[in-house]
Amino acid sequence: MLVVVSHVRLSKLDATGNDFLVLIDLDDAHAPTPDDVRALCDRRDGIGADGLLRILPGRDGADLSMELTNADGGRAEMSGNGMRCVAAAARRAGLVTAMRFTVATDAGIKTVEWAETDVSAYARVDMGPATFDPSAIPLAVDSAFGLKAEVDGVVYEGDAAGVGNPHFVLFVDDPLAVPVENHGARLEHDTRFPHRVNVEFIRVVARDLIRMRVWERGVGETRSCGTGACAAAAVARHRGLVDNLVRVEVPGGTLTVELDGTMWLGGPVGFVGDHDVRLGRGSGTP
């Protein structure tokens, strides 16, 4: 069981149901091990989170850098909701004072815009354009479009997209009826995706509204996924089903995606609490 002692401080933040532990490590002296992350993110014996984000000094001209480790201990390239949590943590700690700043990630440098009132905070991130190039997603077939997959006799159809990480967007009649825990877990390992894949089950409700459930690679089903919302909106827009401004309803709330050459992901973000823990012994325990 995780025993909390004073060593490093983690802040827990929530972005439409996607929750993350954030470690400010400007000295780059407290890299958690995969075992640490698994123990800390464990929802039974740890603090519980979808992943751990480490804030590092900026590089390549960016104000800050972000490193993301999923709940299973594996590194990930990018998280839109995670980026919004980084923004909230950085603002709260006084690392940035401007309402617009940049963060370097494994998927490139991203611009963040921050807004707040006395009762709420909102962050939007320039996620860059989606890609449908199989080599960039990456995808081991010639086309990202009209892909089919069968699980337990259910045939799914949709498109692949890259949003700094790989996504498989599937069109369904009712996302609530999909056995995401079973089918998402198996589709994550679809052999056409050499780096595994995040899987979105979506229904286009109107030209400005998508409903979505998501299975995140290395995490499981989550209540929200920022890159997944972007991928869903980009795929639906490519098919001519939605306009340039789309709301994406997820179990944890509502995200907005603006598509105009680039993609802006926006939504609320909130502080949950601070936790003092000890790292570096392989399990997250003292």
Q: Give the pLDDT confidence of 136-186 residue by residue, as tens digits.
A: 999 999 999 999 999 999 999 999 999 999 999 999 999 999 999 999 999
Cα–Cα distance, 8 to 31 (Å, whole number): 11
Cα–Cα distance, 173 to 37 (Å, whole number): 36
Q: Are residues 16 and 120 in the same domain?
A: yes
pTM attached to this predicted model: 0.86
Q: Are residues 249 and 273 in the same domain?
A: no
Residue 134 placed within a domain: no
Residue 67 placed within a domain: yes
**Domain around 151:** 147-260
Q: Residue 67 maps to which CATH number? A: 3.10.310.10
Q: Are residues 247 and 210 in the same domain?
A: yes
- Of 166, 113, 144, residue with least CA distance to 239: 144
Number of structural domains (the chain) is 2
Question: Does the pLDDT value for residue 109 go beyond 50?
Answer: yes
Cα–Cα distance, 212 to 216 (Å, whole number): 12
Cβ partners under 8 Å of residue 187, min gap 6: 149, 151, 156, 168, 170, 197, 199, 215
Q: Are residues 153 and 195 in the same domain?
A: yes
**Left if phi > 0, otherwise alpha if psi is -120 to 50, otherwise beta: which for 232?**
alpha
Q: Are residues 76 and 97 in the same domain?
A: yes
Query: Which DSSP helix (H) or strand (E) runs through 206?
Result: strand 198-206
Q: Are residues 121 and 156 in the same domain?
A: no
Residue 200 placed within a domain: yes
Query: Which DSSP helix (H) or strand (E) runs through 229?
Result: helix 226-238
Residue 140 placed within a domain: no
